[in-house]
Amino acid sequence: MIPVLVLYIYDLKAANKKSFNRTKRLFYYHLNRLPLKKELWKTKSAFAVEPKMEKIFDRFFRRFGKAVIVYKTTVESIELL
């Protein structure tokens, strides 16, 4: 069986610099408190989690509403190009 991961690709957005900085600070503060394993694939604007963690991260992104644009998909592997 091929392991499947849930891939989240996100982008922060805001109307002005002050609101962007506030959103960014809150976003990364709460993201660092989540049980995101260090060995999982992660970049500055994307990360992959195991399917059992999907509900936790869905709730996490819902917390920010329209301040964060999120795309979610499932992947079997991630290749470095």
- Domains of the chain plus CATH, in order, are 5-75 (3.30.70.930)
pLDDT surpassing 70 at residue 20: yes
pLDDT surpassing 90 at residue 63: yes
pLDDT surpassing 90 at residue 48: no
Mean pLDDT of the chain: 87
**Cβ-based neighbour number of residue 33 at 10 Å:** 9
45 neighbors 9 (Cβ within 8 angstroms): yes
Residue 1 has what pLDDT? Answer: 58
Residue 13 has what pLDDT? Answer: 92
Between CA 28 and CA 68 the distance in angstroms is 12
pLDDT surpassing 80 at residue 4: yes
Residue 80 has what pLDDT? Answer: 66
